[in-house]
């Protein structure tokens, strides 16, 4: 099984009835409040015995080269589930840093840490057109290329005792919903 991408078929709706894509500011990166997430989805997570830690929205404009980065600066196994609106023909790309590469610790506009990489310092290892929802590995350098406007609602999960989930744990929890 791929260790960077895994598509899901979830039995519940992620977005609430109050969700309206037009109310989000056209910022590249912003936090999303729980009122945008359906009660049905929260109930589903309770059934799975996990919690939604937070949701971030990444808006990618057409033909913009997004910086190659890995989320967080000290975590190498950081699975997320992405819910995508728009972005037809967009691809998510994962990279392996070259042996001499360290990357540079930086912070997003909402103060989340990441490590940025220059294209010359990484090698492409996998690309995939992402359809919603999908488990993605954000602890590996990655970026997105898109010919059209793309909204990615990126979700992070913890166990009930607030421990971040690993790739293997999230695959096990969502095993019944993985598209083979």
Domain containing residue 67: CATH number: 2.60.120
In a domain, 16, yes or no: no
Tens digits of per-residue pLDDT, 109-149?
A: 888 889 999 999 999 999 999 987 999 999 999 999 999 99
Place 27 in a pLDDT band, splitting at 50, 70 and 90.
low
- Does this model's pTM top 0.85? My answer is yes
Tens digits of per-residue pLDDT, 30-42?
A: 899 999 999 999 9
Tokens for 29?
């990166």
Q: What percent of the chain has pLDDT over 90?
A: 75
3-state secondary structure of 21: helix
In a domain, 15, yes or no: no
Place 101 in a pLDDT band, splitting at 50, 70 and 90.
confident
According to DSSP, the residues that pair with 157 across neighbouring strands are 52
In a domain, 48, yes or no: yes
Instruction: Using the predicted structure, report yes or no on whether residue 77 has a pLDDT greater than 70.
Output: yes
> What domain range is 124 assigned to?
5-10+27-177
CB 117 within 8 Å of CB 68: yes
Place 73 in a pLDDT band, splitting at 50, 70 and 90.
confident
> What is the domain count for the chain?
1
Please count the residues of the chain.
Answer: 180
Place 72 in a pLDDT band, splitting at 50, 70 and 90.
confident
């Amino acid at each position: 099984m791929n260790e960077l991408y895994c598509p899901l078929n979830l039995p519940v709706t992620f977005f609430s009835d109050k969700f309206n894509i037009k109310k989000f500011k056209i910022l590249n990166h912003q936090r999303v409040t729980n009122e945008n997430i359906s009660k049905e989805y929260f109930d589903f997570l309770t059934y799975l015995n996990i919690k939604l830690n937070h949701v971030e929205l990444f808006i990618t404009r057409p033909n913009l080269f997004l910086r190659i980065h890995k989320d967080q600066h000290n975590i190498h196994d950081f699975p997320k589930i992405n819910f995508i609106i728009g972005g037809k023909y967009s691809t998510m790309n994962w990279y392996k840093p070259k042996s001499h590469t360290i990357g540079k610790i930086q912070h997003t506009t909402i103060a989340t840490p990441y490590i940025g990489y220059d294209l010359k310092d990484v090698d492409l290892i996998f690309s995939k057109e992402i359809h919603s929802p999908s488990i993605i590995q954000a602890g590996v350098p990655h970026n997105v290329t898109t010919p059209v406007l793309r909204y990615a609602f990126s979700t992070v999960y913890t166990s009930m005792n607030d421990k971040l989930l690993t790739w293997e744990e999230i695959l096990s929890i969502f095993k019944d919903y993985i598209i083979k």
